[in-house]
Structure 1
Amino acid sequence: MTAQEMLPWLKFVHGDMFCDKHWMEMFALIGLPSKPVESLTFGDFLATKDNIIARANDLQELNGRAVSEIAIRQALRELDIWEVEAKFSLTEHKDSRGESVMLIKDFKDILNKVTISCT
């Protein structure tokens, strides 16, 4: 196989969205010995071009998973920030037994904010 045949698949090994777990999985998929990401060279990938081509679908799936996981982590981080900053307006309500219960005003608006930040 030629290096030219590998070119379309290089976009799945650049790892902009990869965390350490994804890098380790990619190294295992293409048979590249584990090493610091900062020291990777194009030559490292050329040496494994046959594996990159053979495992192209797996690399594509790994890349998609990494992108999805980043979106989830970001949504959770935003939810954590919202949790700290959120202030609730409460209103008193009498339940069916006549006991006083505090309810959050505008509950639907708050729930919508949480839902939007998680999508």
Structure 2
Amino acid sequence: MHFQVICATIAFGMGIDKPDVRFVIHYSLPKSVEGFYQEAGRAGRDGLLAHCIMYYTYQDVKRLRRIIEMDQAATFDSKRVHIDNLFRMVQYCENVADCRRSQLLNYFGERDFNREECGNFRGAICDNCVSK
């Protein structure tokens, strides 16, 4: 068996435009839901099954918050926005009841997605819907 693997940082990874990426693995918490969506969207562009896996700890939250708070060029208001974005990401990760797709779509203003549709593509049901 032959596998091709690309390891990328966020800065490099955003330039990856391959249609057949099967896995996106986050080894840390993204700074925002928008960032997570952008990064996760690198997988499955060819319409075939792809997986997004995230590993994170509360240390990630502490580290990212410290970075935000230490930014001397940022205003109080911009820091508040970044911290709010970080905690929205934590809320998404910690929600073990609601459909992940529904959460993301609601975040971006889409309210028409029915949770029952989550498993329509075989093998693509989110972890929360699998666990009911």
Coarse TM-score class (shorter-chain normalised): under 0.3
**Relative to total residues, which structure has the larger helix share, 1 or 2?**
1
Which of structures 1 and 2 has the bigger CA Rg? 1
Say which structure, 1 or 2, has more relative contact order (CA 8 Å, 6+ apart): 1
